[in-house]
């Protein structure tokens, strides 16, 4: 039976079928997501495009720091950059990134809940 992907997502090779070079690319993608500041920037862009100054102010970091993060995120295809006059505006390149982040957040929430339930079982012993 053929696997059917949801209409808004292309067919993807399972990770076990990817060559080593492709796995390196996947690891680089996840490495960009493994930084809290970049996750904060992604969340801010969830509501729409913003320029570096806006993002810096909202994050509480310098514009130079935010620009470095955005450069990595652009390189990995997470965000797109558009120049307008003297400003650069950034937006999400592929909204599917939010499904991935939400999936991970849900998984972490379930792990925390299971851990809390195990601790509660020990504290309620007679």
Q: At what angle do helices 20-33 and 36-45 cross, to 10 degrees?
A: 80
Give the torsion sign (CA, 30, 36, 42, 47).
Answer: positive
pTM given for the model = 0.76
In the block, which residue shows the tokens 């120049």?
A: 83
pLDDT of 12: 64
pLDDT of 126: 63
Strands (E), the chain: 50-51, 79-84, 87-92
Domain boundaries, the chain: 24-93, 95-126
Q: Is the pLDDT of residue 92 over 60?
A: yes
d(CA 91, CA 8): 19
* pLDDT interval class at 1 (50, 70, 90): very low
pLDDT of 11: 60
CATH class of 24-93: mainly alpha
Among residues of the chain, what percentage have pLDDT more than 90? 68
* Mean pLDDT on 27-40: 94
pLDDT of 48: 96
pLDDT tens per residue, range 35-81: 999 999 999 999 999 999 999 999 999 999 999 999 999 999 999 99
């Amino acid at each position: 039976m053929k696997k059917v992907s949801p209409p808004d997502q292309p067919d993807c090779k399972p990770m076990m079928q990817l060559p080593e070079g492709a796995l390196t690319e996947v690891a680089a993608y996840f490495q960009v997501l493994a930084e809290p500041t970049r996750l904060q920037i992604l969340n801010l862009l969830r509501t729409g495009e913003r320029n570096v100054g806006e993002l810096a102010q909202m994050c509480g970091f310098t514009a130079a720091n935010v620009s470095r993060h955005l450069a990595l995120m652009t390189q990995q295809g997470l965000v797109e950059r558009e120049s307008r006059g003297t400003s650069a505006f950034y937006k999400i390149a592929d909204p599917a990134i939010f499904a991935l982040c939400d999936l991970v957040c849900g998984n972490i929430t379930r792990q925390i809940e299971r851990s809390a339930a195990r601790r509660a079982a020990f504290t309620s012993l007679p």
